[in-house]
Amino acid sequence: MVELRCDPGWVEERLAESFEYRGGPLGVGEAASPEVLEYFEGIFPASTLQVWRTIGFDGLAEGRNWITNPLEWAPAVESWLEGMELPFPPQRWWCITRTPMGSMQLWGEVSGPALAIKSVLGAFSPNGSVQRDMADPMMRERMGCDELLIPSEDGGVEDDVTGRSLVDVGFERFGSLAADEVFALVPAYCLSGRMEASMLAVEPAVAHVAFLGQSTQPTMRPDMLAAFGGEIADLLAAQGVVDPATGKPITFNQ
């Protein structure tokens, strides 16, 4: 049986492991102010606030994962969620991380890290399976740390001709991003229908992602784990597969 932990020492260990494997903070972000920490106390897990206290709102994984100040990113989140019907209970959503192209990982105050938005493509990806874990204080704390450290990806954002990742092209052409910048297609994909390396530029992060939210007709991708989780769990359980995070047979919330 795997002994689960979520104490401050475990958070420190997870930070050290992540820095060694993916790369540490870039040192170009901002510290988490006492006001921000006080505002989100009780809203986010203590593990999330500990990560903020330790490294602030900064880039990780060589600039491929950015821990965001949820208050600063609130306008972008509101732009995308306005008028959207989500497959979750009513709640406030916050952006906790973002990618170089502005894709956002959102944390719901009820559902946790259950919604991601690929800003370039206008795609919402719900993950209802994490809602069950939010009811478990241990798992909630663990997610509060891990979701900040595991990079999301700008999957599908590739040059129409070469097939190369536009993020890779952006780093080659422009170098590292500042904390308030994103790589952007100009004109935006939602307006041109094209993804070409020649269209890449660097834009203000929050303003550009908010603009995409106002300009894009979003789509809601199916929640595959919610739809097929039970069948997958039955297959895995039949094979005796154990979730390394819990030490229990793998299951999915449906």
Pairwise pLDDT comparison (133 vs 40), residue with the higher score: 40
Q: Write the DSSP symbol of residue 151.
A: -
**Quick check: 90 and 84 in contact, CB under 8 A?**
no
Give me the pLDDT at residue 223, please.
Answer: 80
How do residues 84-102 score in pLDDT, each as one tens digit? 999 999 999 999 999 999 9
SS3 36: helix
Q: Is 234 exposed, middle or buried (0-12, 13-18, 19+ CB in 10 A)?
A: exposed
Q: Which band of pLDDT confidence, cut at 50, 70 and 90, is reported for residue 245?
A: very low
Mean of all residue pLDDT scores within the chain: 90
How do residues 33-84 score in pLDDT, each as one tens digit? 999 999 999 999 999 999 999 999 999 999 999 999 999 999 999 999 999 9
Among the residue ranges 202-206, 231-235, 238-242, the one predicted with the least confidence is: 231-235
Q: Which of 167, 163, 193, 197 is nearest to 182 (CA)?
A: 167
Give me the pLDDT at residue 29, please.
Answer: 96
- CA 117 to CA 248: how far, in whole Å? 30
DSSP H or E stretch at residue 107: strand 104-108
Q: Which band of pLDDT confidence, cut at 50, 70 and 90, is reported for residue 225?
A: low
Give me the pLDDT at residue 243, please.
Answer: 46
Q: 196 Cβ partners below 8 Å, 6+ apart?
A: 159, 160, 161, 185
Taking 70 as the threshold, does the pLDDT of residue 233 lie above it?
Answer: no
Site of tokens 């990618």: 99
